[in-house]
Amino acid sequence: MTGTAGIVASGHEATSAAGRQVLEAGGNAFDAVLGALCASMVCEPMLTSLAGGGFLLARPANKPPEVFDFFVQTPKRKRPEAELDFHPVVADFGTAEQEFHVGLGAAAVPGTAAGLAEIHDALGALPLAEVLAPAIALARQGVEVTPYQAYISTVLREIVSLSPEATALVAPEPLPTDPKDLRPAVAGETTRNPELADAFEALAREGVRWFYGGEPAQRLVADCRDHGGLLTLEDLAEYEVIRRRPVHTRAFGAEFWFNPPPSPGGSLVAFALALLEPLPLRSAAWDAPESRLAVVRAMEAANRLRSDTVMDRLDEALAADLLSEKTLATWRGETQASDRFSRGTTHLSVVDEHGNLASLTSSNGEGCGYVIPDTGIMVNNMLGEEDLNPDGFHRWTPGVRLASMMCPTLARLADGGEVALGTGGSNRIRGAVLQVLLNLCAFGLPLQRAVDSPRMHLEGTQLSLEAGLPAVAENALAGHAEAQGWPEIERWPEPSLFFGGVHAAERLPGGGFRGVGDFRRGGAVDANQG
């Protein structure tokens, strides 16, 4: 092989392969992560889209890390709620259910297309047409549906069935002549999206203004006007990518960089790490009762802090205040006193031989059910995501970035290795990232075990435990839950995508690469050895 050595971790084998192909063509980590991002829109069409949003935490070689914020934005104008196409649907995970809201009235101003263009202009090495080539080929030739993707179509069946165009994104080839015969593909069948291939080619040929001011924009805005949406040409034309300084902290002999405010997820993970850092975790096993209790207490503190303080002030000083000795001392006292210490999102991680690191989290929510005509692009439903609208639906401030729990992360480990990681999973994101980082840095697990190990999730007073924890740890957690007055613990019978899908790429201190695609989300790794 030739080109640039590096490794790609993602949620689908074909997505990782697309990133690897970009590396083979001589692209750097940022070219590869963009190529993989566009491939993921073919492989994971319900989770990511050019009409969604996200974040890239980038560390160019020998330069400080920087965040490219291309998350969605609220429209500049509201309209009466009675006029909106906005209604609930239920996603059924089997063991748990979650309600989302969809329809054109749930669509926020998309940022992914703008983010792709800005990242490429700032950090890319290849022409955009070469970066998009693997995704274009994949969209035309088709991709085999994995069991995970078939499951996602089942979980989101209420959204998939909202329109023939939405169903067609996940329908097997060849498409039936009668739209009534459309159905989601099952594992092993092939899906194609040739209209999306055309869209990628138009984007490479005409530039990002094609999406924000050309025919796709015109069609989207007209349908929003006529069918209960909010987006205008002004909303699209004035959208801008924002470049931010990441949250930076140290703990457990490692150095971390996270997504900054107005997205609070990174600050809350940094806070939880700092809260736990003085405890003797490194002398305990990751699955010991005392370890699990400590992690749950830190998750509880972060949840309480988010509810009580964080969402009222999503400014640049937030992280510094959360990590101040005064704040940490207060919360350490509370967490240690309790006991003696004894949503439609995907993530891509790429590292390359030059020292470039890319951690990119992208989301379409679950999609609003509307597909821009002749593009194969489903539009996001971020205004219908409860976690992104904590004050209630329709109460958003016009013309501002929505706050997200997305937490693309970079870490420099104590041994000098460097890791890019992150996850999808809505409000489970920060907990999954925290647990993997602790497994790596506090408990000393290798990357594969750090990702594969069973997880926990605390939502309000509901503690969910993934299958695989030792009985003694589960019993200790049950005792803590009882003492806190929480309802009965929810024990999952098997590992589940509910607990996130952490895809990680590592550059080893002695040279070489290692990567993990989380099995919970059908993850896959591909590498170019150069």
Checking if the pLDDT of 107 tops 90, the result is yes
- Quickly state the pLDDT bin for 512 (edges 50, 70, 90): very high
Of the candidates 345, 346, 375, 423, the residue annotated as catalytic is 345
- Provide the 3-class DSSP secondary structure of residue 331: helix
- Quickly state the pLDDT bin for 112 (edges 50, 70, 90): very high
pLDDT score for 280:
84
pLDDT digits 0-9 by tens, 164-187: 999 999 999 988 888 788 899 899
Within 13 Å and on the Cβ side, how many CA atoms surround 69?
A: 22
Q: Are 271 and 302 in contact (CB under 8 A)?
A: yes
- The whole-number average pLDDT for the span 433-449 is 96
pLDDT score for 342:
28
pLDDT score for 96:
63
Q: 49-53, 281-285, 336-340 — which is least confidently predicted?
A: 336-340
pLDDT digits 0-9 by tens, 13-70: 999 999 999 999 999 999 999 999 999 999 989 889 999 999 999 999 999 999 999 9
Of 463, 446, 447, 445, give the one whose Cα is nearest residue 455. 463
- Provide the 3-class DSSP secondary structure of residue 102: strand
pLDDT score for 336:
46
pLDDT digits 0-9 by tens, 185-240: 899 999 999 999 999 999 999 999 999 999 999 999 999 999 999 999 999 999 99
pLDDT score for 341:
31
Reply yes or no on whether 146 is catalytic: no
Q: 114-128, 224-238, 288-302, 346-360 — which is least confidently predicted?
A: 288-302
Does 262 sit behind a cis peptide bond, omega within 30 degrees of 0 on the bond before it?
yes
Q: Are 464 and 498 in contact (CB under 8 A)?
A: yes
Pairing state between β 6-10 and 524-528? antiparallel
Checking if the pLDDT of 338 tops 70, the result is no
Alpha-carbon Rg for the chain, nearest whole angstrom, is 22
Q: Are 341 and 324 in contact (CB under 8 A)?
A: no
pLDDT score for 263:
81
pLDDT score for 339:
33
Q: Are 527 and 7 in contact (CB under 8 A)?
A: yes
Pairing state between β 377-378 and 143-144? unpaired
Average pLDDT, the chain: 90
pLDDT score for 334:
53
pLDDT score for 4:
97
- Structural domains in the chain plus CATH codes: 6-240+348-388 (no CATH), 244-346+406-504 (3.60.20)
Distances (CA, A) of 405 to 262, 351, 426, 500: 10, 23, 7, 12
- DSSP secondary structure of 379-420: BP-GGG-GGG-TT-TT-PPTTSBPP-----EEEE-TTS-EEE
Q: Which stretches of 207-324 are DSSP H helices?
A: 209-213, 215-226, 233-237, 265-276, 289-308, 318-322
State the amino acid at position 250 in one-letter form.
R
Q: Residues 6 or more apart from 400 whose CB is under 8 A from it? A: 73, 74
pLDDT score for 316:
64
302 compared with 504, residue with greater pLDDT: 504
Q: Cα–Cα–Cα angle for 344, 107, 210, nearest 5°?
A: 100
Q: What are phi and psi of 275, to 5 degrees?
A: -65, -40
246 compared with 428, residue with greater pLDDT: 246
Q: 165-174, 318-327, 387-396 — which is least confidently predicted?
A: 318-327
Distances (CA, A) of 183 to 42, 74, 141, 166, 168: 17, 33, 20, 10, 8
- Quickly state the pLDDT bin for 465 (edges 50, 70, 90): very high
**What is d(CA 347, CA 155) in angstroms, rounded to the nearest whole number?**
19
pLDDT digits 0-9 by tens, 234-262: 999 999 999 999 999 999 999 999 998 88
pTM (2 d.p.): 0.93
Measured in whole angstroms, how far is the alpha carbon of residue 58 from the centre of its chain? 15
- The whole-number average pLDDT for the span 101-107 is 96
